[in-house]
Amino acid sequence: MESIPTGERVVIGADFNGHVGEGNRGDEEVMGKFGAKERNLEGQMVVDFAKRMDMGVVNTYFQKREEHRVTYKSGGRSTQVDYILCRRGNLKEISDCKVVVGESVARQHRMVVCRMTLMVCKKKRSEIEKKTKWWKLKKEECCEEFRQKLRQALGGQVVLPDDWETTAEVIRETGRKVLGVSSGRRKEDKETWWWNEEVQDSIQRKRLAKKKWDMDRTEENRQEYKELQRRVKREVSKAKQKAYDELYTRLDTREGEKDLYRLARQRDRDGKDVQQVRVIKDRDGRVLTSEESVQRRWKEYFEELMNEENEREKRVEGVNSVEQKVDKIRKDEVRKALKRMKSGKAVGPDDIPVEVWKCLGEAAVEFLASLFNRVLEKLQ
């Protein structure tokens, strides 16, 4: 905490395992009057920590029914041990803080929700790159429509024009019209790809039953909640099994392989505690948190890394170069090269993927062979 700059907004939410108690005599600067139970030693440590760090115990500033102050409930015991703390200078940004009854987030503990209004500067959005949906060409009907529209755009010609710029622009424009353009937003890989409406409905009913049981602890309500818990487990198990069965049947296809790799990447990310590093240390070991200082440190690091002189391997001098005329590229060579190329790869600067040339068939082979040979002639 002491290493975090004073200007940084800090919010701490945790199980402090202490009771700060009701009332705030002598501690008005760090807490309100609406705690719960009597203060104990651990609760006093929470108050002392808040004083030392110039923070406030947010839960205690809002008058709520006891049910909305109790954060821990087990058997016949109920108390307040989970707190949200923030800098005293930011207390004016908080409009409400309470316990949400019925949300089973953790065993015996209840969710504490804090409503905070932040004034932030809007960052200028980077321009989203919209992409042509070239992947649709794997469907034969889309491929056929693309060929027909391209032929119409070329005035009914079957042969592609020799000029590269003209051909490339006609292909891109036809692709946008026939296949459509994506929004440019990245689709997130979710672990809940197997989710369906039955699971959603079961979970919603379980939540309502949990809330009902928390408000009225009767045996009937408890049994209803337990039964819905079991039903949710069954629905989740069925949905997962169905989704995996469908995945296994697709594994022999390229789409199935992509699904498998997507799941593997998501599992790898879920296994990491930190998904994205937003803070680093400077040369002296101090933590940098502002975006400008982090970027500056990365710049320093790469400047040192890329400009450091290392011992180079000795190069063999005096190698004789052989100059001879290169044979023309044949159509069958282009045909074989296209066949070996994999679909679904990232496009180059021309924004034309290999799927286009495969879709156009012999017309593409003739055009590419002619284009490559013209390039060779200019280089020789």
Residue 262 sits at φ, ψ, to 5 deg, of -65, -45
Whether pLDDT at 31 is above 60? yes
Structure tokens at 165: 């710029």
Structure tokens at 127: 């321009």
Whether pLDDT at 298 is above 80? yes
Whether pLDDT at 186 is above 70? no
C-alpha–C-alpha distance, residues 133 and 244, integer Å:
27
C-alpha–C-alpha distance, residues 350 and 169, integer Å:
9
Exposure string of 346-363, with b = 16+ CB inside 10 Å and e = fewer, is eeeeeebbbbbbbbbeeb
Whether pLDDT at 213 is above 80? yes
Give the pLDDT confidence score for residue 96 in this predicted structure.
94
pLDDT digits (tens, 9 = 90+) for 88-124: 999 999 999 999 887 666 778 889 999 999 877 776 6
Question: Where does 251-315 have alpha helices with state H?
Answer: 254-270, 291-307
Average pLDDT over residues 220-234: 91
Structure tokens at 266: 């998501």
| Helix, strand, coil percentages in the chain from 3-state DSSP, rounded to 5 | 45, 10, 40
**Cα separations (Å) of 201 from 30, 205, 227, 237, 365?**
43, 6, 14, 15, 54
State the helix-helix crossing angle for 219-250 and 254-270, rounded to 10 degrees.
130
pLDDT digits (tens, 9 = 90+) for 147-169: 899 888 888 776 777 788 888 89
* First vs last C-alpha separation in the chain: 68
Q: Measure CA 358 to chain center.
A: 33
C-alpha–C-alpha distance, residues 313 and 266, integer Å:
41
pLDDT digits (tens, 9 = 90+) for 47-65: 999 999 999 999 999 999 9
The overall average pLDDT reported for the chain is 83
The domains found in the chain, sorted by start residue, are 11-116 (3.60.10.10), 131-182+324-380 (no CATH), 197-270 (no CATH), 277-306 (no CATH)
Residues paired with 56 in a beta bridge: 86
Structure tokens at 82: 């989970």
Whether pLDDT at 323 is above 80? no
Radius of gyration of the chain (CA): 32
Confidence of residue 256 (pLDDT cuts 50, 70, 90): low
N residues, the chain: 380
C-alpha–C-alpha distance, residues 23 and 34, integer Å:
6
Query: pTM above 0.95?
Result: no
Q: Which amino acid is at 244?
A: Y
